[in-house]
Structure 1
Amino acid sequence: MLLFTYLILYFLLVFVLRSILLWRKTGINSLTFKKTDNAHDYNGKVFIFITIFELVVVGIYAFKNEWYEYLLPIWYLENPFLQKIGWTLLVISLIVVWISQSQMANSWRIGIDENNKTKLVTNGMFSISRNPIFLGIMIANIGLFLVIPNTFTLLITSLSTLSMNTQIRLEEEFLKREFGNEYIQYAEKVRRWI
């Protein structure tokens, strides 16, 4: 139950609340994915699928314990020490994502915004990683897997990793077009992940 509550709070804080704050401040919708079939919008559909899939898996763990065996637990990873590491990573993830979103301020979006001009953020967390929000989400995925190690949380982590890496490359191409040499010089100094 605690894990499910945490996951709901995580989504509410880093996606819903952040989107509302941006909307109130700028009038801009942070969600940029549309219903086309291009790579960017398709990847948005993959993000939504992974999120729903994650909620279902954690919901089964929290509310239907008798079904948990169908998630194919990896029993040799089920121990209190790894669970504590997992919970620590989940908390670190929330902190990293929240700080990174705060540092992006009005430039934060969910996806690529080709309609509203933003500024290139290179300070704070972005001086350590070009993608600290995705890094934070990756940390959360690993944490989730350690808290409830099963085949489906491993699949969520794998799908999320592929989807994030695709999104990062799409965003990099956009940022090169949008900011040109400024982004290229930044990318030469700061690594993609860490």
Structure 2
Amino acid sequence: MTDFIRFFIPIYFILFFLVSFLGISIAVAKKIGKNPNVLPKDDSAYALVGLYFKLVLMGLFMYTSLLLLFPDIIMDAFKISVLDSDVFQYIGIALMIFSFIWVIVAQLYMKDSWRIGIDDKLKTKLITNGVFSFSRNPVFLGMTVSLIGFFLLLPTMISLIFFLTGNILIQVQIRLEEDHLLKQHGETYETYKKRVGRMLSLY
């Protein structure tokens, strides 16, 4: 299992970034004629959240690269032994694969409305069908589940920190985006909020 984890985790996150962010962004950019990455680069609090997101991604890339180069050291360093079992590892793999597919499906439903950040210059369509009928934030839900899977597959204090930090940033971003959508769509979004949960609604 060590050799599998060594290669699976870095390849997974590389594919996740290339397909779910870079690939989708390029496709949307061609359709709308602008870069869908609209994270601000000023000194605002929102820009700081975006910077922290980038730092977490850089840290995750470095950590998984070290896992590829020094698997025994990384897997043993700060290990949470109580979670170190084949059962949790298989659950982690399943969650990561499921979340990858879930995120891609959610992005396909968003079509031209896909953005990295808040687009306050162009009104986007409110998507409420498909996976958006189960979650108001299916992409963020998928990202959260992937980090849970990552932690179960590689149960160390460092992967736990990535999960906790990533989840905090995701929750802040969600609330910023929800305030923006409420301003854009008003009563329509308010009705949608009452019908569908922030992360997940089970019927």
TM over 0.5: yes
Counterpart of 2:189 in structure 1: which amino acid? Y
- 1:189 is displaced (CA, Å) by 0.7
**Residue 156 of structure 1: CA displacement?**
0.4
Structure 1 partner of 2:107:
101
Question: Unaligned regions of 5+ residues in structure 1, if any?
Answer: none
- Structure 2 counterpart of 1:153, which letter? S
Aligned equivalent of 2:4: none
Aligned to 1:161: 167
Structure 1 position 53, deviation (Å): 1.0
Determine whether 1:137 maps to 2:140: no
| Aligned match of 2:47 | 41
Q: Is the 8 A contact 1:40 1:111 kept in 2?
A: no
Aligned: 1:81 with 2:91:
no
Q: TM-score, normalised by structure 1?
A: 0.96
| The one of 58, 66, 69 aligned to 1:60 | 66
Amino acid at match of 2:90: K
Is the contact between residue 93 and residue 137 of structure 1 (CA under 8 Å) also seen in structure 2? Answer: yes
Q: Which residue identity does 1:190 align to in structure 2?
A: V
Structure 2, unmatched stretches of 5+, are: 1-6
> 2: CA distance between counterparts of 1:191 and 1:106?
23
Q: Name the CA distance, whole Å, in 1 between partners of 2:79 and 2:105.
A: 33
After TM superposition, the runs of 4+ consecutive aligned structure 1 residues lying more than 3 A away are: none
State how far apart, in whole Å, the 2-side matches of 1:187 and 1:69 are.
41
CA RMSD of aligned residues (A): 1.3
Structure 1 equivalent of residue 124 of structure 2? 118
Q: Distance in 1 between matches of 2:99 and 2:13?
A: 12
